[in-house]
Amino acid sequence: MSTLIALETARFGIPQWLWTIGFIIVKIAVVLGGVMLHVAYATYFERKVIGRMQNRLGPMVVGPYGLLQPIADGIKSFFKEDIIPTNADKPIFFMAPVLGLMAALSSLAVVPFFNGFVIANINIGLLFLFAMSSLAVYGVILGGWASNSKFSFLGSLRASAQVISYEVPLGLSLVGVMIMAGSLNITEIVNAQSRYPGGMYITAQWLGFFVFVVSAIAETNRSPFDLPEAEQELIAGFFTEYSGMRFALFFMAEYTGMIIMSSIAVLCFLGGWTIPPFVLKILPFLGVVPGIVWFIMKLYVCIFFYYWIRSTLPRYRYDQLMAIGWKVLIPLSLANIVITAVLKILLHHTGTP
């Protein structure tokens, strides 16, 4: 990272703070551009994976193997007619999709994609991610409310109850990781994982990882917990009344949310940008591969898991959703916290970290 730091020193007579600001803006542009491209191709990936799982080919027409499909979709939704319901609460109707996408995108500020590359390396990185993921629901709720339609309304009602319920296990499941790493800074959490078997927290925190995965799926409103947008019951749930680019914004927010949740899973449980040490021991030449490659590979494994679950499981009923959240996941995550804390104190006294 010495080259990156060297960029920040004063040159060409421009003061250093201006360099720093410019450097941050470039970083933001790189991250946003990269992530939006991944969001576009995550939709393609999803359609391909689910197509294959259902014995179909998925998109094949636009470009070779349908590779230009996301771009065609983007252009189509951009030029579609933008319909606004007469009785909609217009300012909130306009604001809702933007709010959802904004919350999802601002989480990217604290995600370290590889060693040293993070827009804001703050001490409370993980808490910031929680805060932003809890704000993502405002887009859903306000969109559903402002549409002034029964289907949207029911969808957003479900969304608000679901997100409140699942935010609790989502937060609690990561407390085990926080206890083990002793920090909320995501870079430090990744670095702390190298001391544990496999270079990942998933070995020691498998219970926390299980709770995290289930509640992350529920938090991003993905199948089998996609009750806010249950097609068979509610047409499209909270975004029934949205069309054109506004609908696309909701879509982008959902996929960005998935990428964020997957990157939290990668960073907190799967070792982030590092390779497992035993792999490096067998194949030492893999050490030259940059960290971003491992990060993206792990990210896509997580995203594939999302799609796999979606094409495998049917949707849960509403009372089942609540029962899983409150009666299974929260007690499990609390047990995980107690076990982790007790073990940490015991091991700390016997001397091993």
Q: Name the site residues for other proteins (rule: CB under 8 A).
A: 89, 92, 122-124, 127-128, 130-131, 134-135, 137-138, 141-142, 145, 153, 156-157, 160-161, 163-164, 167, 171, 184
Looking at the Cβ atoms of 163 and 202, the one nearer to other proteins is 163
Euclidean distance between CA atoms 188 and 201, whole angstroms: 13
Looking at the Cβ atoms of 156 and 340, the one nearer to other proteins is 156
CA distances from 228 to 251, 290, 327 (A): 13, 39, 21
Euclidean distance between CA atoms 271 and 294, whole angstroms: 10
Which two three-digit tokens encode residue 116? 């040293």
Looking at the Cβ atoms of 40 and 135, the one nearer to other proteins is 135
In the complex, minimum distance from the CB of residue 107 to other proteins, in angstroms, rounded to a whole number: 12
Looking at the Cβ atoms of 76 and 90, the one nearer to other proteins is 90
In the complex, minimum distance from the CB of residue 128 to other proteins, in angstroms, rounded to a whole number: 6
Looking at the Cβ atoms of 60 and 122, the one nearer to other proteins is 122
8 A C-beta contact, residue 49 and residue 304: yes
8 A C-beta contact, residue 332 and residue 168: no
Euclidean distance between CA atoms 202 and 336, whole angstroms: 13
Looking at the Cβ atoms of 69 and 156, the one nearer to other proteins is 156
In the complex, minimum distance from the CB of residue 140 to other proteins, in angstroms, rounded to a whole number: 10
Map tokens 């982030």 to a residue: 272
Angle, helix 206-219 to helix 150-181, in steps of 10 degrees: 160
Looking at the Cβ atoms of 152 and 205, the one nearer to other proteins is 152
CA distances from 69 to 48, 64, 292, 338 (A): 11, 10, 26, 48
8 A C-beta contact, residue 305 and residue 43: no
Angle, helix 291-312 to helix 244-269, in steps of 10 degrees: 120
Looking at the Cβ atoms of 130 and 196, the one nearer to other proteins is 130
In the complex, minimum distance from the CB of residue 230 to other proteins, in angstroms, rounded to a whole number: 17
Which two three-digit tokens encode residue 12? 């060409």
φ, ψ dihedrals at 274, nearest 5° = -90, 160
In the complex, minimum distance from the CB of residue 143 to other proteins, in angstroms, rounded to a whole number: 12
DSSP 327: I
Looking at the Cβ atoms of 43 and 240, the one nearer to other proteins is 240
DSSP 43: H
In the complex, minimum distance from the CB of residue 121 to other proteins, in angstroms, rounded to a whole number: 13
Residue 11: helix, strand or coil by DSSP?
strand
Query: Percentages helix, strand, coil for the chain, rounded to the nearest 5?
Result: 75, 0, 25
In the complex, minimum distance from the CB of residue 228 to other proteins, in angstroms, rounded to a whole number: 13
Nearest residue to 163 via CA among 215, 114, 206, 214: 215
In the complex, minimum distance from the CB of residue 218 to other proteins, in angstroms, rounded to a whole number: 14
In the complex, minimum distance from the CB of residue 257 to other proteins, in angstroms, rounded to a whole number: 14
